[in-house]
Structure 1
């Protein structure tokens, strides 16, 4: 194998340095936040992401662009308010998920509600697999933490971050909430499927762009949407239950909700039902969805 060209070597080193510096800043924010009392911690990091990191990193602009696409009916001022609140929620969610002791302990007080609670209990009693599906809304870890406190063993599938330094400790935060976590890819999928076959519970987030995935309606716009959760549910006769952790007006507590299982049919129909479920939640609480993702991209990608 030939040695990389000097220019390529320089770019690799520059990218590595960029990842290192970015992670150092993130770790600094985490450590500073964790040194504060819980409520001050959540509010402070929410403020920092809303007013500093979000605008500098381009997340605010991306949120505004997405809002202009999906909600042209709103005034620019209303979209700006949603974008600001969205960034605040992103920051709060980030530091909550790094509060590996405090956040799960607080969520243990929550009793999940909704039409999916009894089907979940019956399925686990009977050894039937369950796939819990949600989006980047509210805090997606709130309900998992509440269920883990009730004795459920819930695994998850995650997408590796591009920054390897950040990814190393990010994965540990997910493991702290209980249950095994698996990286996307052949190795992770094998463990994920094995956990499912054994009647385990798994969490999937399905609301990000996936190349080559089917184009389905999401909030009135065509979006490439992974149908893997529905495919797994059909293949392993698993319940497919949408769930949400809705942030409450105090900014610190959550309503943890399990919706009714999505009926088995075909992957695209089932995934459309998931899209419709999340869309309804976003319509009711638009500031709680992560508008910062590149959800709607070219159909050619």
Structure 2
């Protein structure tokens, strides 16, 4: 039997990949749309149970175990596994909550006792200050608890926000995700070649630019995270070189009963070089250290399942 030409094989692989992507995209769209019709709390519990059953059988579980063992050498294997189960629980809940973002962000400033979101008094003051000071700002967050909520926290306090996000590879999934993010997340800027220019322009226009900064980036600057060398995205520090403005971090803490705490840090001072310019590596390290302190407090709420150290 004659072998297929290499070009034909390549086309067949691309066609299969396209069909597979379409099927996954259709399944994602169907799941998210269907999930919106169910009770948010029950859906969150159900997704958490399912993901806790499936997760430990995946390669990512081994990655997470290795990451946690290196980050917390003082913890026993049993403690590491307990944290990992919390990670899967949290991830399942994030998936369920994504379909109910308009209900998950439930904060009434005049009625905080009956809100799902808790905001410390100082965080409220800081959000108001950032909104009213007439300056742009850079805001960073991490994959903690529900990492969609920092954007909602900013916008709900009246911040004119521009949010950097990563598009899914599957177009149909991207469309439904965008639809659900339209709850009110400000201006959404997809990661890509022109993202730095668009983000810099947003800062020049006085907007508050927000991004997740805790994942590994090939070609990023070297930082120390949990005592180990890794690489981090220097985009925030590079933007700061172009437009000097305040830096703040926003974190979300998951609480029992489908509740969350949203906190914003005091202004973080950038690191400068001998000439007074923003030190890209030093500033990236400074914000990475803030993220590490957050993760140490609630390790079960961070996404340990990716190869953060390589």
TM interval, short-chain normalised: 0.7 to 0.9
Residue among 277, 280, 286 paired with 2:299? 286
What residue number does 2:237 align with? Answer: 230
Residues 138 and 288 in structure 1, CA contact (< 8 A), matched pair in contact too: yes
Task: Provide the rounded CA distance (Å) in 2 between the counterparts of 1:171 and 1:294.
Answer: 27
Q: Is residue 11 from structure 1 mapped to residue 13 from structure 2 by the alignment?
A: yes
Which 4+ runs in 1 deviate beyond 6 A? Answer: none
Q: Is residue 190 from structure 1 mapped to residue 197 from structure 2 by the alignment?
A: yes
What residue number does 2:153 align with? Answer: 146
Deviation of residue 217 (structure 1)? 0.3
Task: Provide the rounded CA distance (Å) in 1 between the counterparts of 2:31 and 2:284.
Answer: 37
What residue number does 2:129 align with? Answer: 122
Task: Provide the rounded CA distance (Å) in 1 between the counterparts of 2:286 and 2:136.
Answer: 20
What residue number does 2:78 align with? Answer: 77
Map 1:103-122 onto structure 2 (within 5 A): 103-105=104-106, 109=115, 110=117, 112-113=119-120, 118-122=125-129
Decide which moves more: 30-39 or 199-208. 30-39
Deviation of residue 290 (structure 1)? 0.5
Q: Is residue 259 from structure 1 mapped to residue 260 from structure 2 by the alignment?
A: no
Deviation of residue 249 (structure 1)? 2.8
List runs of 5+ in structure 2 lacking aligned partners.
Answer: 110-114, 272-278
Residues 156 and 202 in structure 1, CA contact (< 8 A), matched pair in contact too: yes
What residue number does 1:89 align with? Answer: 90
Task: Provide the rounded CA distance (Å) in 2 between the counterparts of 1:106 and 1:47.
Answer: 27
What residue number does 1:40 align with? Answer: 42
What residue number does 2:275 align with? Answer: none
- What's the TM-score, normalizing by structure 1? 0.88
Task: Provide the rounded CA distance (Å) in 1 between the counterparts of 2:9 and 2:187.
Answer: 40
Deviation of residue 94 (structure 1)? 2.2
Deviation of residue 49 (structure 1)? 2.0
Residues 270 and 286 in structure 2, CA contact (< 8 A), matched pair in contact too: no
> What SS is found at the alignment partner of 2:162?
strand
Task: Provide the rounded CA distance (Å) in 2 between the counterparts of 1:77 and 1:22.
Answer: 35
Structure 1 213/147 Cα, relative in aligned 2: closer, same or farther at 3 Å? closer
What residue number does 1:166 align with? Answer: 173
Task: Provide the rounded CA distance (Å) in 1 between the counterparts of 2:287 and 2:108.
Answer: 24
Residues 52 and 85 in structure 2, CA contact (< 8 A), matched pair in contact too: yes
Task: Provide the rounded CA distance (Å) in 2 between the counterparts of 1:26 and 1:73.
Answer: 40
Deviation of residue 212 (structure 1)? 0.7
Task: Provide the rounded CA distance (Å) in 1 between the counterparts of 2:286 and 2:254.
Answer: 23
Structure 1 44/153 Cα, relative in aligned 2: closer, same or farther at 3 Å? farther
Residues 137 and 207 in structure 2, CA contact (< 8 A), matched pair in contact too: yes
Task: Provide the rounded CA distance (Å) in 2 between the counterparts of 1:88 and 1:168.
Answer: 26
Q: Number of paired residues?
A: 293
Task: Provide the rounded CA distance (Å) in 2 between the counterparts of 1:16 and 1:22.
Answer: 10
Deviation of residue 105 (structure 1)? 3.5
Residues 200 and 242 in structure 2, CA contact (< 8 A), matched pair in contact too: no
> What SS is found at the alignment partner of 2:252?
strand
Deviation of residue 42 (structure 1)? 1.3
Map 1:26-37 onto structure 2 (within 5 A): 26-37=28-39
RMSD value, Cα: 2.4
Deviation of residue 28 (structure 1)? 4.2
